[in-house]
Amino acid sequence: MTALVLDGKLCAKDTETRLQAQVAELKERTGCTPILATILVGADPASATYVKMKGNACRRVGMDSMAIELPDTTTTEELLKTIQDLNDNQDVHGILLQHPVPEQIDERLCFDAIAAHKDVDGVTCLGFGRMAMQEPAYGAATPAGIMRLLEAYDIDLEGKHAVVVGRSPILGKPMSMMMLNANATVTICHSRTKNLAELIKQADVVVGAVGKPEFIKAEWIKDGAVVVDAGYHPGGVGDIELAPLTERASAYTPVPGGVGPMTINTLILQTLESGLKQLG
């Protein structure tokens, strides 16, 4: 059995074609362009690269981005003021605060200062709560991208046992809630879970979101499972030992080219959705 490759790069490209048309129509109708504001605090090279990629993705579909760069010495109060200014700016339709921020900043306080209708990265407590309760909200970009990718390949979660390995507030926890809302039976695990291998062996769907390279071993995963690897580490490996699974799984996300492109694509999609709502 050769596993189906869940090609996030291809899915994101197809979505961008559709978004280009929607942005063009919106511009013609309103004369306005959706804008994503990105806030980068400090000079972390990886964060700077991610922010640049998000700006490029905006421009590919005809949207604009506003890049705000703040120094390492920025205080919580200064960052909160920046966020409030963007909340009040009617030309800005989405706000992204790049994680992580310097340690002197209260990151959670700053995330939660983002207005709910501009929280296109799905990072606020309010957004998480509304999503979990199946109320209108923008989902955290990575798990929402995973859900879109599974839907694109007609992978039905209803009645399936999904094991999510990871509990971060922007990946593992919202992933679990989204799958639960899709009628999966969800087990949430993490790096300290006892008998982790035995739990993973029960899974119809495995999501690796633990943040450790190849932490989840191929031998723990049963034949025919759907394997979603949300990790990315130096050397081009994810959180799951994928190589032995390409002939055993029913479907899997490659690393790179699986979950990553869908994360940025979902951020852009949700920024456009926000723009459409705000611009009527």
Q: Which residues are catalytic?
A: 54, 98, 121
**One-character DSSP codes across 49-82:** HHHHHHHHHHHHTT-EEEEEEE-TT--HHHHHHH
C-alpha distances in Å from residue 226, one per residue of 4, 184, 204:
9, 13, 6
CB atoms under 10 Å from CB of 43, counted, come to 10
* Antiparallel, parallel or unpaired: β 161-165 and 185-189: parallel
Half-sphere exposure for 184 (CA within 13 Å, toward CB): 26
Report the SS3 class of residue 177: helix
H helices, E strands: number in the chain: 9, 9
* Residue 159 marked as a ligand binder: no
Of 267, 221, 260, the closest CA to residue 237 belongs to 260
* Residue 47 marked as a ligand binder: no
* Residue 167 marked as a ligand binder: yes
Which residues participate in the annotated binding site for NADP(+)? 166-168
Which residues participate in the annotated binding site? 166-168
